Structure 1
């Protein structure tokens, strides 16, 4: 079941002329392709792993960020924190409100609804015309889970998990890859074309399963199979497709675990701790930067998969 999606809420995109001409965000009339920020689109980017990835990109270079999330309040809080990160990462740059609105954008959207891609892209097309920001990097981080035995799981919940985790990833890749291919066809010059990148967030449960997580495991296993097939399909077009497979990570979901269950989970992990969202973000940066990483699946589980 799809949900109605609202327009981009905060902040609105602004003209490209507001890109600051200092540290990391410099412009060059001779080679504007170099000065253009790398545009990163992150679904589910308003919290958890997705938000950490957004912060990591802003801390490490010339990037503009667009995140999606399901609630306006969470998006606004996330954007406030991302603006602060942008300022701290560029202390020699004075950012106007208009510049920050260009560099950091938020769209309220439910990843389970394929029609969101009209709401994600349409405001940018309207504002920029031919110069609207096509993502250089897409990170599919939106996800939901229900802890329930299959026999007790409601049909609506099953659809919600599959629609968000698997179909949401598929529709995002379909919409963004089309735009990516068009953008690469329009590139010119003697410099080699830089590849574009899609990063899908899967889960250790995709390969090892677990009681009470049948549908979630199925959705994330589907993401892995989809990633591998898409890597072969889009590689010749200069688009790399990779996946990250997190184990137990300190997020809202794991913090809600029963203390006894959490302790037992830690005892099974060879490193004896849960991972952090920042450690997942570092892997995303590697996949985005490494020009030979295609069909690359990175397990980040503290060694748990080897001990199971």
Structure 2
């Protein structure tokens, strides 16, 4: 296949690049570049209660759809998610709503895909079968209102049309949307990878990967922190005699990195560099916000996924899939809802700061 075959992944492990013939997808997936379909495995989180009635199986098809039953741990919280129209970003949006989040705001470059994601979320919440095509309802505008406009799709779901790889061109609108909705959680899940060895990589592709995966996350984090400061200033009481506000949960940024950030691979140098940069961003924000902000607590954490069941996997042959599973100690791919479990933990645990969670089924140990 040609270099232009593009992977739909954000947090994939290194094996697709070590075995390039496994790292391509059909052209039908190329329109979904900025959505995240990261790879993960079961979360090992002592703070979360495992359902002991669950029967463990190393076969992905036998794993229950939900490891940890929702328990309203995010009641009243608002979350903004980049790359939330499919894959891991969508799974996090769905799980946060199940956990009682008052609103999720999906950011994506395609208005139609955003509408489709919103419709799927509504369907999931009503415990019906997912819809197959985009649809609208009384809350959803039937025509595209244009980029950078906040759209309230329903009571608990909002949409923001914008290209994260070009976030620098609409930072003011992004920050304004954050001030208006006042999210307490930001999920940086948008990602792009183009499989090619470095000597054959086009400079424009390298730039696109870095802009989407790293610069986009930096700029959205910047807007999130600035909006948090401005909203905090607005909430300051005018006098000592004024009523004291109840304790509010801290703000939280959750970045989706990749196993390639610290495990070598072939054919993904810009991607690996961008995901290593995500870990640097996570650490630096955790320290800088504590040192420079007053009255605003912003925690910064990251998830480092391995393989996950995605449409990309459907392009592998049965033999290829079996060989890939054999490289993972628990002998199966992860699921997006397992990463969502970890995101809930990071969002609600007030002591989780600079917390980097590997969710790769043990692949990072081999």
Q: TM-score range by the shorter chain?
A: 0.7 to 0.9
- Is structure 2 residue 296 aligned with structure 1 residue 296? no
User: How far apart, in 1, do the equivalents of 2:317 and 2:218 lie?
Assistant: 33
Unaligned runs of 5+ in 1: 1-23, 26-34, 90-94, 126-130
- After TM superposition, give the deviation of residue 209 of structure 1 in Å: 2.1
Q: What displacement does 1:103 show? A: 1.7
Give 3-state SS (helix, strand or coil) of 2:246's partner.
Answer: coil
Q: 2:269, 2:101 → 1: CA distance?
A: 41
**What residue is the counterpart of 1:178 in the other structure?**
226
User: Mean Cα displacement is larger for which, 41-50 or 69-78?
Assistant: 69-78
RCO comparison, higher one (Cα < 8 Å, 6+): 2
Mapped partners of 1:218, 1:254: distance in 2: 24
CA contact (8 A) 2:75 2:99 kept: no
For the 8 Å contact 2:286–2:354, the answer to whether it is kept is yes
- 1:157 aligns with 205
Distance 1:260 1:222, change over 3 A: farther
Change (3 A) 1:163 1:174: same
Asked if the contact 1:204–1:245 (Cα under 8 Å) also holds between the matched residues in 2, the reply is yes
1:107-256 mapped onto 2 (5 Å cutoff): 107-114=160-167, 115-122=169-176, 124=177, 132-185=180-233, 186=235, 189-235=244-290, 237-256=296-315
Shift in Å at residue 116 of structure 1?
3.5
Name the counterpart of 1:85.
124
Q: 1:228 to 1:257 in 2, by over 3 A?
A: farther
- How far apart are the structure 1 equivalents of 2:75 and 2:271? 38
Q: Provide structure 2 residue ranges, at least 5 long, that are not aligned to the other structure.
A: 1-70, 129-136, 141-151, 238-243
TM-score normalized with structure 2 length: 0.66
In 1: Cα distance, 2:211 partner to 2:332 partner:
31
Secondary structure of 1:132's match? Answer: helix
1:184–1:193 Cα contact (<8 Å) kept: no
What's the TM-score, normalizing by structure 1?
0.78
Is residue 175–residue 227 contact of structure 2 (8 Å, CA) maintained in 1?
Answer: no
Q: Secondary structure at the match of 1:265?
A: helix
Q: CA RMSD in A?
A: 2.7
Indicate the structure with greater helix content: 1
Task: Supply the distance in 2 between the matched residues of 1:57 and 1:36 (Cα, whole angstroms).
Answer: 9
Partners of 1:208 and 1:39 in 2: CA distance:
34
